Every structure is written in C-alpha cells, then in structure tokens.
Structure 1
C-alpha cells in the first residue's frame, strides 16, 4: 500500500494550543510536511490578522476551516444582534485567510432558558441573517453538530441530521453556501451516522472532516480528547463513509488535551498526529 498523501492531513491548531502561537504552530506543521491548518480566532487575534494571513499566504497553506463562528442564541435581541455582528467579523477573517469554510459552533441555551426548541430557532435565525453575506463572499458555512453533552452550553445542534435539517430550511434548493462539519468526537456514537452521512452526500453538504479519539475513561468532557488510536472510534470506517458521501478533503486533527498532548513538546504532538493518521485513519 502506498503512503497516504500528506495533503489530506490538516492540523486544527487547537491541537498545538498549549505549546505554540499560530506562527510557531505553522513552523511545526511545515517541519512535518503538513501544509493544511485550521486556526482559531483567538489564535489569530494573538498574532494579528495581517500576520496570520501572511503566514498562510507565504507558506501556501490550505486553511481547511476557521474556528469558529456561531454562538447565536441569547436572552435579548441586542445580544443576538451582537452575535450576528461577531459572525460577520468572523466571515471577514475567514475570507482574509482564504479558508475553505467558516465552522459554526452554534451555541446552547440562553441564560435562564430551558427551551431548547427556541434556542434551535435562534440558531436558524442567526445563520439566516449572515448567509447571504457569506454566499456573496463565497465563504461556505459549516454547521458542526456537537455531542449531546454540550447541548446546554455549546451547541443545541447535536446530530448530523439536525444540522442538515437547518441546511434544508435555509437552502431548500441546495444552491450551496451551507453544509456540515463532521467531527468524529461528536458524531461517532450516532446510530444514524451512516444514513446521515449518505444524506449529506446527496446534497454535497459535507464541508469538513475533523478527527481525534474518544478515550475510555474520559476524564474531562471538553479537554480530554484522545490521539487517534488511543480510544474507541473506528476512524477508518468513518473516513470510508465520508468519502462515500463525496468529501475527499483533508482529515483535520482537532485534539483538546490539557493534561496530555498540550503538555508534550509541539514537535512530538505533530509527529504523532502524522503517524497515527497514517496508521489509524485511512479508509
């Protein structure tokens, strides 16, 4: 079997958050032959958008996504408008980086609310408010469903089907500009995973594919993601399903690991990402 093409590997810079700023992380990735990244907005702010865009441009990097927009639900109209305004700033940053998509972590329940249906409507309304601007800028929006444990505080969209429902409401004719980000950590458990990915493929709705592993036990539900191969997710099968659905873009390694990988040298983390991607994530 031939070696997999490293152009099909991206590093979400959350994976190196504990060791590097954005520019340093780019250098680490390039050292290991990785030419695709996905930065977070706070990492961009820390070095400045101009410097971040220059690092991308001068090194001819693919930006597989900008993390993140979203967080639409809020208790007041003023707060909801502030979220929309912030998403439009995220759009400008994504365009400056020539990102493949703007990833949306949509937000959970507003303070004091127990109405998850209303929160989901606020998500749809918020995306609708920015969708035309994003289309005009040719920047696709990738709704990322998060595991149900995050439904209250981070994302009230929790399955690929729910994300696709929003896509179908806002883009019923499938003219493009909106789709989903498939993150292994968040969707691996879904009994409808295969059918949902096939549905996404019918509309060419898959815009990103994120990978890491689910550890047993998981010590922290946010900050204890596993390196590929250290947990229970069948990442090779997931990749086969994603490919069958028509998405062949890079697999983006996104590992939040406060007590393990963020404490190791960045060089070791990046090298291990490459090794494990080769051995555990190929279809």
Structure 2
C-alpha cells in the first residue's frame, strides 16, 4: 500500500475528533472518504498532510509521516487541496502557481511544468496576470488543484473539491480527478457528494463521528441499502452513468498531458 493509516486519533483540545481509524490507499487508486458534516473527514486528511497533530501511525511507501510536518510531507510527495481552496486572493494567478513549485530544486523542469499547467487549464493562462480573488469559484478550484499538482505529488489529497460549484463545473472537477488517476496519480478524496463520488472512486470509507463505519469497493457501497438510504436518497447507483463533462467557459482537461 502507498498509504497506511493505523489507529489514528486526532484531538482539538478536549474534543476527540478522530477515533482510531485505519485506512489504506494503494498506488493508482482513487479512495474516497464520505460522510456527513462533522464525521472527521477533513480532520483526517489534514492530519495526513501534516497540518494537525495525531497519535497512531501514518506510513507513506513504508516511511513514517510525521505529525505537524507539512513541508516535509509535501517534499515526500503528499499534496493537499484544502476545503475552501486556500488560494491567495491578493496574489496573481501566476504567483499562486509559483507557490506550487517553491519546494522543488529542479527549477528548469518546474518552469516547464508551470507552462504545462497553462496548457492543461487554458482559462488560467488567460487570467495569469489577474488577481486570484477575481476568479470564479470553478476557476479558483482549478487554480488550487494546479498549484498542488506543480509539487509533483505521488498522493493528492482533495478536500471537498466540488464544494460551492455549479453542477457543470462540479462534473468537470470529477472528470479531472478521473483523468489524473489515468496518469498514475493516487488520490484520497473527501466529498459530501457521495453519489457522484462513489461513481469515480475505486474504494471508499464511510466515516461517522470520527470512526470508520464501513469500507469496501465503491461500487458495492453505492448499492448497500443502508448507505443508499442514509446518503444517497434511497436510490442505488446501479445503471446510472457518470455526469456529462463540463465545458464551462471552454475550459478542458488535456488528457494527453504528461503532467500529473
């Protein structure tokens, strides 16, 4: 397994937010964390990224991931796109993207990768000199993902990437995640849109009040009566198709790009 989490506990002072969860992510997988607000999904990925202290064990390719060591974990190959996108609104699009390569030593290749991101996301190329705060919600999400990809992660943590997006742009983001998996990138995806998430994930974990309630193949969980009733409005996913690809403002994903 690329990522192994064992007996993870996370506390905010007296609040015990994550109660000894275990999870695995294999290389090349999309693994989803689903559950209601307050289930512990965001806390889990922030702890893995090194932004929160935790007890227990987190291993990346057999090497320990230390709590509270976000920059070290980034250099080790873990990149987080946080809930709310975390873009730097007073900086330009170009400056935001340059933050994605600050930890890299291969400056020439990093500069080439940055230009590659502009090819992958043409709307960002058009807006490169503008303030990031002036981008639409969908454009800001693309910027946040592009910035994370520029660190050349092996494990991409995505926290609620469809939050606040129009349906077409949300579908675009889900299709983008699938295209990243096709390049070999490993993704741990936090989402409340359980129905759409289970369509694209390989496996999933259902969290409730900081505990893993159940886990398994996404297809199996999507058709589980309890999960279907609780999170999917009582309708199983069998026979449904993934939503149409978005063409918001002519933005597309270059499937042939060599960049992750």
User: Which of structures 1 and 2 has the larger relative contact order (alpha carbons within 8 angstroms, sep 6+)?
Assistant: 2
Instruction: State TM-score, norm by structure 2.
Output: 0.41
Instruction: State TM-score, norm by structure 1.
Output: 0.38
| Larger helix fraction of residues | 1
| Larger strand fraction of residues | 2
